[in-house]
Amino acid sequence: MRTCSLLLLVAFIALAESFHGRHHMRDKRELLVRAKRRWVLSTIEIQEEDPGPFPKEISKMFNDQTVEEDHYYQITGAGVTEEPQGVFKIDATTGSVFALKSIDRETRSSFHIKFDVLSTRTGQPIDEQLAFNIDVKDINDNAPTFLPPTMDVNVNENLEEGGVIVNVKAEDNDQMNTDNSKFTFSLVSQIPNEPKIELRQLDKVGFLTLKGCFDYDKVKKYDVIVQAKDHGEPSQSSQAVITLNIIDTNNHAPTFRQKKYQGEVLEMITKNDILRIAVDDKDTPNTAGWRAKYIFMKGNEERNYQIDTDAVTNEGILSIIKGKDFERIKITYLLVEVENEEPLTLCKDNKLVGASEHPPRDIVNITMKVIDVNDAPVYEKDAFHVYQKEEEPPGKELFTPTIKDPDSDVSKVRHVLLEDQGKWMTIDAKTGTITSAKMMDRESEFVDENNVYKIVIGAIDDDEPPATGSCTILIHLKDLNDNRPMLATNGAILCGNKDKKVMVTAMDNDAPPFGGPFTFSLVDDDKTVTQRWKLDPSYGDQAGLISRTPLPYDNYSVPLLIQDQQGEITSETMAVMVCDCGEGVVCKPKDPVTSSLGKAGIGLLFLGLLLFLLLLFLFACQCKAKEMVMVQDEGNQTLIQYNQEGGGSAGQAVPTLLLTPTRMVAVNNGHKTNTIKTSEISNGVVKDTDFYNSRMVDMINVTSLNSQPQRNTFTSSGPARSNTWNVNRTNTGQGRSSMYQRSVSICSNQHIADHIDRRLYMMYGNLLDQAGYPPKEYAYEGLGSKNPSLDKLSLSDEGENMIFLDDLGPKFKTLAGICQHTIQEKNIKL
């Protein structure tokens, strides 16, 4: 038993060590594997324009992490999954990479591709992704290209030897800095061959230069062919054709057609185009090398002549710009030479020669004869200055001129005034003496700002034709204090709402020291002016006129004294308008008068019309009243007391019933109105009605809230009582109120009273039997009148005899007719 246990223990230990050893070996192997290079890759080069056949293997991928697991390869990137697609592919099993077609390096020189190895079981990457480039190896498949391949160039004839005619430029699209893209220029041909054109190169630019000189008269056009050839294998080349157009320049000097010219000119005149000089030039017309330029070499020292070039004919045009004096010079000899606007260039023996070897410029002789004419008299000076005081008496001699005439007798010369705006002068026709005819005013409009009065005189000889000479006389006028100071403006605006000062400006037509600055003062005679105004400042060209106190808006006249520097005083009146200027500097305009009455005016017109109609109505009523017969038993008219402020005893007040659900009665005593409840009325409260009829101290008016006329009723109880019927009417036309009280017979009153008592008792039950004086309620403001219709008080329902109402008297009938007519017009229902 012990032996078995020992054997089992040994076996377990051996098994454990065996397991540990295998685990250790695997860990060590994995560690070594991680240290190795997992991708075996290198840069791939392929040749440009490879002829194939395709697909063509260019590389093979390998990864050592794929030993123990099934896998497949995958590539992505340019040429596979990105543009241009379809260029490369990979064998997923073997890892071989294939090119599917030829590649142009000038289109794409390299491709960036990514490699992955994926598990066949899971589809997940087994190892990290790797990327590398495929480079396209260049071949010489492009020739140099000229930019542009043909050229048409203009070249001046006078181009100096060694000068650059034109530049040529070429490019090669093959790989830079290789023999495939390097090239050399060469001159293939030149037609014609003379002068020689050479070619030199700097990098990718070629320069055509001239050796010798062009001659436009011989050759006007050259054709040159230039070649560019690269250094690759096999070599590529291209050509450019250049056409040179020769532009004519000045290589021919102008020459005069004639060597001598003659002309005539009148003495002392100016004239254009008196003579034309022709030249010949073999250069191209209307160019700078053809247009002539004429130069005076001799005879025009005083600059009497001028010569210009005719733009069309190229002739020289001779003109006189300053007259010649026959007495001084009778004949003038002019020496003129000609050249072109462009400098002359000459080509000899295929070389340009210097200016020293140029032939001399051509010269022409011109003889101009001066023809004598009648010379005009000449004053000693063109202008004379005379100094004179203004306001001098007329008749004073101011000036006598001196003249000379080389062709005429001076004593026969006649003098005239050519200009005298103010008509202030006279002139002696024989001597030319200037005499004042009027007093001269320095402040006149004919005198300029420099105090100068100008006149022009002329001298006319007696030759044929007569000639006239002239001169100007400037009379300087000295100022005198002959003008008083005055206001520049006689009116001013004083904005009373914001200023209290206006500036007063004075002026004086005299010059210093006879004018300003001025001294201003107020006239002392008017005390009102000095109390209202003051001056500050009061000296200078302006004075400040200040109001001492705020002034009402109005027009004011302010008398002023103004004194100049020499003590000359003048009195002036300043009109000052004091007004409201608002925010501006001028008076605000007054509200315009309008004929619109507005709502108030229209209302007043209607009110006046209504008053007029009311007066007519009252007048008609009075006229009818005169025909009424007075009845002795019409009742008593009693004065009514208004505006009574005091109140009587509450127990003596006569309650008045107002038929409203609130049981309220309005009591009017003068201007005071109280309200009581109908429950306060009882048989013991009402006093004898005759007592109130005799005293007439208080009147109780019962009115409804809708302002319709109501009947005022006095009720009483007891064995002996009498009721009174009162009518209240207001006359708005006369602005006062009148109360008319009318009494009916005792029987009628008693009948009406009994009827009203029965009605009230039926409506309010036992309320009239209540005694005492409970608290009164004044100035009740309820929801409005809820009075029942007065139809409930109708007497016709009871069948009483109301015939007595038909004979209440002439006055009542008249009033009832008027009221009934008014009620019908207003459609009022009682």
Q: What is the DSSP string of 194-261?
A: -SEEEEEEETTEEEEEEES---TTT-SEEEEEEEEEE-SSS--EEEEEEEEEEEP-S-S--EES-SEE
From 37-46, 114-123, 276-285, the region with the lowest mean pLDDT = 37-46
Per-residue pLDDT averaged across 431-443, rounded?
A: 89
Which of these, 660, 614, 615, lies nearest to 777 by C-alpha position?
660
SS3 (DSSP) at 299: coil
What is the rounded radius of gyration, in angstroms, for the C-alpha atoms of the chain?
70
In a 13 Å sphere around the CA of 630, the CA atoms on its Cβ side amount to 3
User: What percent of the chain is predicted at pLDDT more than 90?
Assistant: 25
pLDDT at res. 241 = 95
pLDDT at res. 244 = 95
Instruction: Please give the model's pTM, rounded to 2 decimal places.
Output: 0.43
* Residues in CB range of 638: below 8 A, 6 or more apart: 696, 739, 741
Question: Which range, 272-281, 564-573, 799-808, has the best average confidence (pLDDT)?
Answer: 272-281
If pLDDT is split at 50, 70 and 90, which confidence band does 66 have?
A: low
* Residues in CB range of 285: below 8 A, 6 or more apart: 314
Judge whether 657 and 710 are in contact, CB under 8 Å: no
- DSSP at 327: T
- Assign 3-class secondary structure to 648-666: CCCCCCCCCCCCCCCCEEE
In which region does residue 726 sit, left (phi positive, over 0), alpha (psi from -120 to 50) or beta (all else)? beta
Which of these, 644, 695, 694, 696, lies nearest to 668 by C-alpha position?
644
Q: Give Cα 466 to chain centroid, integer Å.
A: 67
Per-residue pLDDT averaged across 363-379, rounded?
A: 85
Tell me: pLDDT of 641 over 90: no
pLDDT at res. 202 = 92
If pLDDT is split at 50, 70 and 90, which confidence band does 732 have?
A: very low
SS3 (DSSP) at 24: helix
pLDDT at res. 592 = 59
From 93-107, 417-431, 581-595, the region with the lowest mean pLDDT = 581-595
Per-residue pLDDT averaged across 290-306, rounded?
A: 93
The two tokens of residue 809 are 């008297």
Tell me: pLDDT of 778 over 90: no
pLDDT at res. 691 = 37
Which is more confidently placed, 601 or 645?
Answer: 601
* Residues in CB range of 679: below 8 A, 6 or more apart: 663, 767, 770, 774
Phi and psi at 319, nearest 5°, equal: -135, 155
Tell me: pLDDT of 753 over 50: yes
If pLDDT is split at 50, 70 and 90, which confidence band does 793 have?
A: very low
- DSSP at 494: E
The two tokens of residue 328 are 């001084």
Tokens 């007093």: give the residue.
439
From 408-412, 465-469, 518-522, 698-702, the region with the lowest mean pLDDT = 698-702
The mean pLDDT of the chain is 75
Which is more confidently placed, 625 or 615?
Answer: 615
The two tokens of residue 202 are 């700097």
Q: CA 724, 729, 734 angle in degrees (round to 5)?
A: 145
Tell me: pLDDT of 12 over 60: no
If pLDDT is split at 50, 70 and 90, which confidence band does 825 have?
A: low
* Residues in CB range of 364: below 8 A, 6 or more apart: 256, 258, 259, 260, 261, 277, 335, 336, 337, 338
Tell me: pLDDT of 276 over 90: yes
Tell me: pLDDT of 731 over 60: no
pLDDT at res. 749 = 61
* Residues in CB range of 761: below 8 A, 6 or more apart: 768
If pLDDT is split at 50, 70 and 90, which confidence band does 560 have?
A: confident
Tell me: pLDDT of 816 over 80: no
From 368-382, 408-422, 808-822, the region with the lowest mean pLDDT = 808-822
Question: Which range, 39-43, 282-286, 542-546, 610-614, has the best average confidence (pLDDT)?
Answer: 282-286
Which is more confidently placed, 566 or 295?
Answer: 295
The two tokens of residue 207 are 């320069």
Tell me: pLDDT of 139 over 80: yes
The model's pLDDT over 509-540, given as tens digits with 9 standing for 90+, comes to: 777 777 788 889 888 766 778 878 888 888 88
pLDDT at res. 824 = 60
CB-count exposure of residue 279 (10 Å: 0-12, 13-18, 19+):
buried
* Residues in CB range of 6: below 8 A, 6 or more apart: none
The domains of the chain, with CATH numbers, are 44-137 (2.60.40.60), 145-247 (2.60.40.60), 263-371 (2.60.40.60), 378-478 (2.60.40.60), 486-579 (2.60.40.60), 637-643+652-826 (no CATH)
Q: Is the peptide bond before 406 cis (omega within 30 degrees of 0)?
A: no
Per-residue pLDDT averaged across 574-589, rounded?
A: 85
pLDDT at res. 288 = 93
The model's pLDDT over 320-363, given as tens digits with 9 standing for 90+, comes to: 998 776 667 788 999 999 999 999 999 888 888 888 888 899 99
Q: Give Cα 333 to chain centroid, integer Å.
A: 70
Tell me: pLDDT of 31 over 60: no
Tell me: pLDDT of 100 over 60: yes
Q: CA 544, 550, 556 angle in degrees (round to 5)?
A: 65
- Separation of first and last alpha carbons in the chain: 147
